[in-house]
Structure 1
Amino acid sequence: MPQVDIHPVKNQQELEEMFYQRWLVLRSPLGMEIGSERDNNEDDALHLIAMCDRKIIASARLRQLSLELGSISYVAVLPEFQNRGIGTKLIENLIAKAQEKNLKTVRLLSRINAIKFYQKLGFSEQDKPFEFLGIPHIFMHLDIQP
């Protein structure tokens, strides 16, 4: 596989390309319109992208919710690049960024079919599954070591 570079979004062009990649992976398969891949918290978040041959192949977001709690969301890896460790590297990078911010816990909302992926990274299930966007999801959390 060619070289993959993981870094924070650097400019508006990368941000727009990331939103499109996020929509392709997370919203288009659900029949949702472009724009549904964004929310009101984009400006307050750290966006990481994975690039290969100048194309965004994966992305994820970290947002600080309080002094001790962070939220990981919009984890999206293009299907042809899944199961190659790219998503794992994105999450590990976001956990490291959360540690730099002295956060104690990060949480995320996982689709049921991704639970094992997050469990391998140390996340634990919280509460019970519920429907979100017509798909079963569950909250998961990870206590971060300083």
Structure 2
Amino acid sequence: MITIKNITTDDPLYALMRELRNKILLRPLGIPDNSWEMYDDISWHFVAVENKKVVGCAVLVPAEEKPNKARLIQMAVDTAVQGKGIGKLLIYKIIAFAKNQDIKEITCHSRAYAVNFYKKLGFEVYGEPFEEVGIPHNHMKLKV
């Protein structure tokens, strides 16, 4: 059974989350481990846990300039369980959390191949496509 949890950086699951982010998002691109943690201390962290193992994760960063806006970053699902709805469960938990925090909009930089995943969950593309970390991306947003 998959459980979605909101954790802090003090939680023992945080180390497992970091490893998943490195394995799925950074290492395949040759990006150094832990190099996308610059917002971790001010962010909300979400993990999908199955049998005490982190199989999915995402980070929600509050927008400093707009208290009712946040940015979704570092969303990853272990390749062994991709396509089983874990990403969707993470997004549902994040949306519910955002509503409780009075966040009105969530934005993200979606890798081009993930755009349809986000669209199915209510996100929409805005602006022009761009390249980030050597990969085509799109700006996306969701009104909460």
Per-residue deviation, 1:35: 2.1
Is 2:56 aligned against 1:58? yes
Note the aligned Cα RMSD (angstroms): 1.2
Name the CA distance, whole Å, in 2 between partners of 1:32 and 1:90: 24
* Secondary structure at the counterpart of residue 90 of structure 1: helix
Q: What is the match of residue 125 of structure 1?
A: 125
Q: Which moved more, 1:5-14 or 1:106-115?
A: 5-14
Contact 1:26 1:37 in 2 (8 A): no
Contact 1:68 1:102 in 2 (8 A): yes
**1:29-44 alignment to 2 at 5 Å?**
29-39=28-38, 41-44=39-42
**1:1-146 alignment to 2 at 5 Å?**
3-9=1-7, 11-39=10-38, 41-65=39-63, 66-144=66-144
Q: For structure 1, which runs of at least 5 residues remain unmatched after alignment? A: none
> TM-score, normalised to structure 1's length?
0.92
Name the CA distance, whole Å, in 2 between partners of 1:36 and 1:133: 12
Q: Which moved more, 1:15-24 or 1:5-14?
A: 5-14
Per-residue deviation, 1:71: 1.0
1:59-101: CA deviation from partner (whole Å, max 9, x where unpaired): 0011221222111111100011111000001011111111111
Per-residue deviation, 1:58: 0.4
Q: Across the two proteins, how many residue pairs are aligned to each other?
A: 141
Name the CA distance, whole Å, in 2 between partners of 1:38 and 1:104: 24
Q: Which moved more, 1:29-38 or 1:130-139?
A: 29-38
4+ long deviations beyond 4 Å: none
Query: Match of 1:102, as an amino acid?
Result: D
Name the CA distance, whole Å, in 1 between partners of 2:86 and 2:5: 12
Identity %: 31
> TM-score, normalised to structure 2's length?
0.93
* Secondary structure at the counterpart of residue 36 of structure 1: coil
Query: Match of 2:132, as an amino acid?
Result: F
Q: For structure 2, which runs of at least 5 residues remain unmatched after alignment? A: none
1:8-65: CA deviation from partner (whole Å, max 9, x where unpaired): 12534321221111110101111222122422x1111110101111111100011221
